Amino acid sequence: MSSSLIVHEMVEEAHDRPARKKKLGVLFWICVGWLVLNFIGAIFANVLPLEDPLFQNYAVVNAGPSLHHLFGTDDLGRDIFARIVFGSRVSIEASLGSMLIGFGIGAPLGMLSAYRRGKFDSVVTAVMYVLLAFPAIIATIAVLSFWTPRSLLKIIIVVGVASIPLVYRVIRGATLNYSTRDFVVAAKVQGATDRRILMKELLPNVAPVGVSFLLIGIATVVTLEGALAFLGLSVNPPTPSWGNMINESISILQTNPWLAVFPSLAMCLFLLCLNFIGDRLRSHFEVSEGKI
């Protein structure tokens, strides 16, 4: 459901909401803690005392949750808990990788165009507008279905490139808010270099917008990985990923509903935390992206 479109949508929404400073609150830190836990799990999955996510134990097929298998086992006797922890790697790698591409290209371009204005700005913005008119999700599906053999790296590249215009739009809008403010003009008058103004004056102000957009972007890519898994376009089984696990659970929904419940829960909690943190940060920093 959620996609680049909802991201786009939430950006617009943030603009219209009357800004008010909110405290971050306990829930915010709980969410941060949960995300950190997820990241630690993904990084140290090899070291943690987990079962091999690919080990098939036919003695305990489709078992419910127990002490031996916290979340039970799947139809091939693989430990669901271990598969969820290892599966988070795919989601996290895909989202961080593609956001690295999206922000790596989109953010500098956006800041530069908003700061320079003029011809450079109008050309780049026009190109990005055409790219935005593309149905990004459909294009992603199309390219991934033709670009065989599929791998995580290709997913990262395609999704990353598709996210560039969105990042550009948000960052440009945010920079535009500041680039004519007095403190920027003052820095210019004092003879600061463009580089210094961009890095020292504008970047710290644009960063909060960037971070909250990054979080929503990560949430979007995690959802997208799930969608791609359903279309058979994500990493190949038996490699566990949240999307693959939910997809595999469908055929045996009646005999073993746990198989669907736990990865879905893992994914939804992860998304909820990301969305919540992004939302709180946005209202905390009184961010208004501004329409373009």
- CB of 57 or CB of 264, closer to other proteins: 264
- The yes or no reply on residue 138 touching other proteins (CB under 8 A) is yes
Q: How many residues bind other proteins (CB under 8 A)?
A: 57
Compute the least distance from the CB of residue 248 to other proteins, in Å. 12
- The yes or no reply on residue 134 touching other proteins (CB under 8 A) is yes
- The yes or no reply on residue 25 touching other proteins (CB under 8 A) is no
Q: 148, 182, 191, 195: which one contacts other proteins (CB under 8 A)?
A: 148
Using a CB cutoff of 8 Å and minimum separation of 24, what contacts does 262-265 make? 262/71, 262/72, 262/80, 262/81, 262/84, 263/80, 263/83, 263/84, 263/87
- The yes or no reply on residue 137 touching other proteins (CB under 8 A) is yes
- The yes or no reply on residue 157 touching other proteins (CB under 8 A) is no
SS3 of residue 73 by DSSP:
strand
SS3 of residue 5 by DSSP:
helix
- CB of 123 or CB of 253, closer to other proteins: 253
Largest CA distance in the chain: 76
- The yes or no reply on residue 9 touching other proteins (CB under 8 A) is yes
- The yes or no reply on residue 250 touching other proteins (CB under 8 A) is yes
Compute the least distance from the CB of residue 192 to other proteins, in Å. 33
Q: Give the range of 34-42, 163-171, 177-185, 219-227 binding other proteins by CB under 8 A.
A: 219-227
Q: 260, 283, 284, 290: which one contacts other proteins (CB under 8 A)?
A: 260
Near other proteins in 166-195, by CB under 8 A: none
- The yes or no reply on residue 226 touching other proteins (CB under 8 A) is yes
| CA 181 to chain CA mean position, Å | 31
* Contact of 50 with 40, CB cutoff 8 Å: no
Task: Write the DSSP assignment of 78-147 as a string of letters.
Answer: -BHHHHHHHHHHHHHHHHHHHHHHHHHHHHHHHHHHHHH-HHHHHHHHHHHHHHHHS-HHHHHHHHHHHS
- The yes or no reply on residue 146 touching other proteins (CB under 8 A) is yes
- The yes or no reply on residue 249 touching other proteins (CB under 8 A) is yes
Strand partners, 79: 73
SS3 of residue 272 by DSSP:
helix
Near other proteins in 27-66, by CB under 8 A: none
- The tokens describing 40, both together, are 């630690």
Q: 128, 136, 159, 166: which one contacts other proteins (CB under 8 A)?
A: 136
